[in-house]
Structure 1
């Protein structure tokens, strides 16, 4: 991905932004006990992904790969927390499937970016 100051046009940014919207839209639907524990962590991680995406898009190659690996770690943690929320029956199947599909797509795109930077 070439250097640009307009990160909002990047396809990966759009996917992460959409994921964040879905996570935040479902916030009120999560039972209170899980909303203020697991789901709050999910919401925070999506915001960290957005922040790190902006950073990765603007830093030079030397720093970019480390930022992308941080994003990957946060994405993996988010996947685990979303699954835990589903296994705790705090989220319905339909929003879970939607979020899971989005997580997989973000993971594929992020993995591709990491591979292109590692060459």
Structure 2
């Protein structure tokens, strides 16, 4: 089965982001860094799970909220001066690309007729 681009983009974001988050100063690594890593992994897991689900809409909406949390956490990194602007811009671009794909997936699912058992 071919990999969905959103899953690959999320995977690539994790590969890029986790080493950066693991190098945060101790007072931020164990609060913000660990939370962000957990959110990123849960986002990837959720995308893989929803790919095979029959009813995707509710799960996709939840993943959209998770992505928004990651977006705000990334902004906190910048505001706390824990990452340089170029890394913030890169992360923001990657998160926005994932968000656009997720939004498209949600729209596609909302157009489908609801199957009742």
TM-score above 0.5, yes or no = yes
Could you tell me which runs of 5 or more consecutive residues in structure 1 were left unpaired when the two chains were aligned.
1-5
Larger Rg: 2
Shift of the alpha carbon at 1:40? 1.2
User: Normalising by structure 1, what TM-score?
Assistant: 0.87
TM-superposed CA distance for 1:27, in Å, is: 2.1
Q: Structure 2 stretches of 5 or more lacking a match?
A: 112-117
SS of the residue 1:30 aligns to: coil
* Residue 101 (structure 2) pairs with residue 74 (structure 1): no
Pick from 12, 20, 30: which aligns with 1:26? 20
Is contact 1:23–1:42 with CA below 8 Å preserved after alignment?
A: no
CA displacement, residues 89-108 of structure 1 (integer Å, 9 cap, x when unaligned):
11122221111110010000
CA RMSD of the aligned region, Å? 1.2
Q: Which residue of 2 aligns with 1:43?
A: 37
Instruction: Give the structure, 1 or 2, with the largest relative contact order (CA under 8 Å, sep 6 or more).
Output: 1
Deviation per CA, 1:74-117: give whole Å up to 9, x if none.
Answer: 00011011101110111122221111110010000000000000
Count of equivalent residues: 111
